[in-house]
Amino acid sequence: MGDKAQTHPGAAGRAQAADHPQSVRNVVLVGHSGSGKTTLVEALALTAGAVNRAGRVEDGGTVSDYDEIEHRQQRSVQLSLVPVEWDGIKVNLLDTPGYADFVGELRAGLRAADAALFVVSASDGVDGSTRMVWEECAAVGMPRAIVVTHLEAARADFDEMTRVCAEAFGADDPDAVLPLYLPLHGPQAPDGHAPVTGLIGLLSQKLFDYSTGERKESEPGEDQLPLIEEARNRLIEGIISESEDETLMDRYLGGEPVDVKTLIDDLERAVARGAFFPVLAAAPAAEGSRQGLGTVELLELITRGFPTPLEHETVRVTTVDGEPRELKPCDPDAPLVAEVVKTSSDPYVGRLSLIRVFSGTLRADQTVHVSGHGLADRGHEDHDVDERIGALSTPFGKLQRPVSHVIAGDLACVAKLSRAETGDTLSAKDDPLLMEPWQMPDPLLPLAIQAHSKPDEDKLSQGLARLVAEDPTMRLEQNQDTHQVVLWCLGEAHADVALERLRSRYGVQVDVVPHRVSLRETFASRSAGRGRHVKQSGGHGQFAICEIEVEPLPGGSGIEFVDKVVGGAVPRQFIPSVEKGVRAQAAKGVAAGYPLIDVRVTLLDGKAHSVDSSDAAFQTAGALALREAAVDAKIHLLEPVAEVSVLIGDDFVGAVMSDLSGRRGRVLGTEQTPGGRTLIRAEVPEIEIGRYAIDLRSMAHGTARFSRRYARHEPMPPQVAERVREEARAAS
């Protein structure tokens, strides 16, 4: 790494379909919003020759032509793939959004990649969410490297950022997070800032000057060598400590020189197995330049240090019936197993599925089996269907370049898979297999919507189905209690993008309405009611009288109906009619229009007429009796209470617990977890946590996670219940 300069003219950097997994590298770029991931991808594409100096490819378009919503919002909102070629290796660069609302796109990128580049801005540092993603990568042993950007910013300090990264990412071994190059500064500007114009290779002890727009290699001056000696020695010791040659450290400490080739070989092996995490610097090319600072070094690290798909952990697959199946790792000749890591809609091409092939070879016009299981709770019903593969292509911005096949380890796009959704498995039609879905965050921000007009109402159902098929982090709920259509999202930005996609892609205009929780009613005390339904008109009349008693029951009891009629006051055939009327009225509510629960209704007495009594008459009488019983009784409004678990950094525990108390929450307990975090368990009324996903993110600067699940319904405080009743009366 760092020993050779390469320039790739024009189409030399245009990646085609790979012929062997050994010649593929799948790399996901991770970092907070604004850290410079997309700019870095563009700089790497320019250096690799995939785009020209104007940032355009030969057949039109640019690397950043992804989505009109991204252009309007001035931030990435979806995963994008940019394949380039360097030194005969196809490099699939997966650019992910840095904003927390689009963590589902990040998870998809991690699923499709074999290594990760953590992009850190020298002006912003390392945020909490980036640390959390690092820990996720560490848990699965994914190889990682760190790229420091924005070195042109005032007071940017590469050495300081390296120290910050070692603290943030090197908790187990700070000496495993070390720079491979030091910045080379140009003349000092009037404001005192000395721009970075090149890099100094610590292992090769070469200077790489980018000041002219072309990478030029030279020998350092005698006065520069002492400046890099300390950093070089520390890097060598860090590499040797991870060497598989256990005698190398003793020989080095004994004064034996270690040649650079040995060090580079050990470095590449340590990076590939996720034991060493090099820090590099990068910057986009100046106008008219061919290479951005550090981009050659970064491409060399990717192609020589990052693992091939052959080194990816073997995927776990089962048959569609759940029987385990063993697969050879990344074998192009093995049975087909591919996964849809992203689904999108193109106005000209239609549905596009970005897939990673984990086993076998996918060919155009091939018929495959599409399986989707395990996401039914998010509105994705389990499905198994055979579909014919349409055109295969590799994307570049909005362009799609056709390919004939995709081998194990590579990524490509498949057009017009009408039933395939994000997370689905593609396999051979005569040997259907299923990959375990990757972990997705739970959407916890409700967005209640309704069609803006009758034409929108006709298109809403199809638009929503296509929306959730693209995004498994979104959950669609048709609430039977409140009769609302609710999209559960990860945050406000996620919700905004969902509404914009409904409007612009699917032509559906919707209105956002206040989200309602599923309230209930119950009797607070015993009460009696008499239902009298007597009407006389021409022909048969209607006659039914019943007397009931209502008493409260413990929570979770539902509606219990008891018959205590004696002497046939209510004929036996009409007793089920009374019960039916009582239950129908209970479903409608007796006070504020919410379902009645947890009561026992006892039928005590009544009267009937030999001619005019009927099933319908006694249903009406039963409903009237329940309503009359409610007139003189105290009715409690019951609200749903959720069990909430919040995982938070220790610094924010006090603020979060205070906030939960302000939401009428009851803290049940806390426990310490690894990494300086605390798990808080509490019970909180659901009406108080509608926007908790947003508020918690603000309180904890994006470093907290929480989950919720329904616990029970319990009585509202009188003042809150009265406010709800007033709102219900105003709405009616």
- 190 vs 134, which has greater pLDDT? 134
* Start-to-end Cα distance in the chain: 72
What is the tens place of the pLDDT at every residue in 163-189? Answer: 999 998 987 788 899 999 999 888 776
- Structure confidence at residue 276 as a pLDDT band (50, 70, 90): very high
Is pLDDT at 8 greater than 50 in this prediction? no
Torsion of CA 380, 381, 386, 390, to 10 degrees: -20
Q: Which superfamily is assigned to 317-435 in CATH?
A: Translation factors (2.40.30.10)
Q: What pLDDT, on a 0 to 100 scale, did the predictor assign at position 68?
A: 55
Q: Worst-scoring range by mean pLDDT, 326-340, 358-372, 389-403, 593-607?
A: 389-403
- Structure confidence at residue 220 as a pLDDT band (50, 70, 90): confident
What is the tens place of the pLDDT at every residue in 17-75? Answer: 678 999 999 999 999 988 999 999 999 999 998 886 545 555 445 555 455 555 455 55
CB 626 within 8 A of CB 550: yes
Long-range pairs for 191-198: beta carbons < 8 A, 24 or more residues apart? 191/154, 193/154, 193/155, 195/152, 196/151, 196/152, 196/158, 196/281, 196/283, 196/293, 197/293, 198/293
Q: Worst-scoring range by mean pLDDT, 143-147, 166-170, 311-315, 411-415?
A: 311-315
In this structure, is the dihedral angle defined by the CA atoms of residues 436, 439, 444 and 450, taken in order, positive or negative? negative
Q: What pLDDT, on a 0 to 100 scale, did the predictor assign at position 632?
A: 87
- Structure confidence at residue 284 as a pLDDT band (50, 70, 90): confident
Mean pLDDT within 641-647: 96
What is the tens place of the pLDDT at every residue in 70-91? Answer: 545 555 788 999 999 999 999 9
CB neighbour class for 288 (10 Å; exposed up to 12, middle 13-18, buried from 19) = exposed
Rounded Cα distance between 480 and 289, Å, is: 61
Give the CATH number of domain 637-731: 3.30.70.240
Residue listed under structure tokens 């405080």:
717
Indicate the pTM of the whole model.
Answer: 0.86
Inter-CA distances, 15 with 185, 312, 581, 641, Å: 34, 21, 70, 54
CATH label, 10-179+272-311, candidates 3.40.50.300, 3.40.50.1000, 3.30.930.10, 1.10.760.10:
3.40.50.300
Give, to the nearest 10 degrees, the angle between helix 158-169 and helix 128-140: 60
- 243 vs 187, which has greater pLDDT? 243
Strand 24-30 with 89-95, pairing: parallel
CB neighbour class for 381 (10 Å; exposed up to 12, middle 13-18, buried from 19) = exposed
- Assign 3-class secondary structure to 349-381: CEEEEEEEEEECEEECCCEEEEEECCCHHHCCC
Tell me the domain boundaries of the chain: 10-179+272-311, 317-435, 445-513, 520-633, 637-731
Q: What pLDDT, on a 0 to 100 scale, did the predictor assign at position 627?
A: 96
Q: What pLDDT, on a 0 to 100 scale, did the predictor assign at position 125?
A: 86
Residue 195 CB: number of other CB atoms within 10 A?
17
520-633: CATH class: alpha beta
Q: Which residues lie below 8 Å from residue 724, measured CB to CB, with a gap of 6+?
A: 519, 592, 637, 716
Q: Which two tokens stand for residue 603?
A: 């039928």
- 399 vs 178, which has greater pLDDT? 178
CB 678 within 8 A of CB 653: yes
CB 665 within 8 A of CB 708: no
- Mean pLDDT of the residues in the chain: 88
What is the tens place of the pLDDT at every residue in 323-355? Answer: 999 888 899 999 999 999 998 876 666 788 999
Mean pLDDT within 665-689: 93
Identify the CA nearest to 418 among candidates 476, 489, 351, 329: 351
Q: What pLDDT, on a 0 to 100 scale, did the predictor assign at position 70?
A: 54
Is pLDDT at 286 greater than 90 in this prediction? no
Same fold, 445-513 and 637-731: yes
Mean pLDDT within 287-315: 89
Domain 445-513 adopts which CATH fold?
A: Alpha-Beta Plaits (3.30.70)
